[in-house]
Structure 1
């Protein structure tokens, strides 16, 4: 049967499936011979169970309590981490995600959106090899509970956070870097430009933004919002999007100025000899699993046209939050690990804004 050219990277031919099955078996013979399981470790709640349950034998997915525990799991063959934790482990701790020369490995990288390319190399310049597999991404968005008055002013973008009615009714991210990113966007300054951090207006803007917040706690921010403790929160899209169809009290806004992007990655520790199960990884790009991942807010970072059919199943307003429109996505930025001098400057800026 002739494949739809728009779905070419998402639909594997029977021959390719057989090749990948054979490759997966070759990569796992050693583990089977040792009579042991091969572990993928992930932070609890940071990996979709529908996908984890499809892992082929002898692989097993093991949830752990947070990224610190993931980084400490010495026997793991694959690790799940968010991009915010990349600075907690040196690049030398990771090896090429797929061993050089592995047959059919190109299948894994075909179709990735341009925004994902830097993440595969952990922000290192070419020709660095792919060290990470970015399997999900999204934005940070403003979520409002029963505030139609503010929704009607959505064109104000992130400046809505400064509305007097939200003072003490707002939860901001726990990460100082993300709050600084919000302040930069409120001022219309490009977050990716180092000169923006030296703008004399930034300090005052950050002071005002922090004064609005009841808490800096994106982990429990959704619970605070749902319980009515606060009326607004800035949250990662994955936690919010699954609720929009069922909870009519909530409205999610992604301002036209964009946001920082969050990334979810799989990495291969330097000490493992196991080859990632390629066929299993590629299943996340195909129905029906792809539809389940999108419903849970996990969006594969593929080129837009490769997700068009799956996104068409959603209302257009929700689809544009799952995968932002090109003009908005162009204004979204990834946050690379900080250099020591950058970290010191941001820490100083943050400390001054809270005094």
Structure 2
């Protein structure tokens, strides 16, 4: 199975920094992120002399970390990526985060992510500031709710054939079907598209009845469309993490006070309202969620037993990547 960066046409060559966007060169350190990948309320407090550079694609951010021209790289002080993209960068091209007190505030589940899935004795390379389970979004399908709450087998319901949007990463579909060839074949036969980025548009336009997407993207839409319902099956789901990492050549000190804002009110409450969930201990999240409506709070912090069944996605060994790629190809309609 290929990595998120490589899977099914997602592999890319590295892009020169000259292509990294139209922003002018800043004299201070830059925070590089894709558009929409960082909360606006948090960015509004980014301290001087830091500046934000928004890019279109994660590939461009990876290129910034791996550019051979150190003179262009040293002002890229922080990179915002998903855990899948961040773990695709060789650790030699990153520097340890150097923020033990900040990381000590996080729940234990964030530990492996902070090491980008390296060995327990390896240094922390990332600040995992938010996580989101992949969930099932249903539009005007109350008849499927009970089944969806039980397991992901609801995706195989005959009524969803041709009206189901799946993630662009085959790995997620394979894991949801527990790498079962027969079930995976049926799932692929049901797919309308493999595109979580635009899948919500298909759902809202009525062209799809269900979509598998990260929960965070759905929270703002729940207020707009009352026919939209979100379900995290009791069997758990893959987790998507948002992390900040430092290129090896970065020289600016970390803006530690700014990073810590995401873990405490009042910013924490605003982030939760927008669907961003920092990996704080459960008791701290429960206190912060008291400010939100009950249904939204329950969605953002599912029962502990369900969260324990969710899983992160460290890089796969080469043999398993190949085996899963073969499995995926064989399941094509």
TM-score bracket for the superposition, by shorter chain length = 0.7 to 0.9
Residue 87 of structure 1 deviates from its aligned partner by: 4.4
CA contact (8 A) 2:130 2:276 kept: yes
TM-aligned CA distance change 1:154 to 1:350, over 3 Å: closer
Residue 152 of structure 1 deviates from its aligned partner by: 4.0
Residue 315 of structure 1 deviates from its aligned partner by: 3.3
Asked whether 1:175 is paired with 2:200, we answer: no
Alignment correspondent of 1:36: 27
Residue 320 of structure 1 deviates from its aligned partner by: 2.6
Residue 324 of structure 1 deviates from its aligned partner by: 2.2
Using the size of structure 1 for normalisation, the TM-score is: 0.81
Rounded Cα–Cα distance in structure 2 between residues aligned with 1:239 and 1:151: 20
Q: Which runs of 4+ in 1 moved over 4 A?
A: none
Rounded Cα–Cα distance in structure 1 between residues aligned with 2:243 and 2:290: 26
Residue 240 of structure 1 deviates from its aligned partner by: 0.5
Residue 316 of structure 1 deviates from its aligned partner by: 3.2
Residue 346 of structure 1 deviates from its aligned partner by: 1.1
Alignment correspondent of 1:61: 52
CA contact (8 A) 2:86 2:245 kept: no
CA contact (8 A) 1:111 1:306 kept: no
Structure 2 residue corresponding to 1:70, chosen from 34, 47, 61: 61
Gaps of 5+ in 1: 1-34, 99-104, 185-196
Asked whether 1:243 is paired with 2:221, we answer: yes
CA contact (8 A) 1:133 1:266 kept: yes
Rounded Cα–Cα distance in structure 1 between residues aligned with 2:106 and 2:306: 18
Matched length: 299
Gaps of 5+ in 2: 1-25, 65-72
Alignment of 1:52-201 (within 5 A): 52-73=43-64, 74=73, 75-98=75-98, 105-184=99-178, 197=179
Q: What whole-Å deviation, never above 9, does each CA across 1:305-342 have from its counterpart, x for those lacking one?
A: 11112112233332232122110010000000122222
RMSD of the TM alignment (CA)?
A: 1.5
Residue 157 of structure 1 deviates from its aligned partner by: 2.2
Q: What whole-Å deviation, never above 9, does each CA across 1:53-79 have from its counterpart, x for those lacking one?
A: 211110011110110111122341100
Rounded Cα–Cα distance in structure 2 between residues aligned with 1:133 and 1:86: 11
Alignment correspondent of 1:267: 245
Residue 284 of structure 1 deviates from its aligned partner by: 1.0
Residue 158 of structure 1 deviates from its aligned partner by: 1.1
Residue 180 of structure 1 deviates from its aligned partner by: 0.4
CA contact (8 A) 1:169 1:229 kept: yes
Alignment correspondent of 1:27: none
Residue 214 of structure 1 deviates from its aligned partner by: 0.6
CA contact (8 A) 1:138 1:323 kept: no
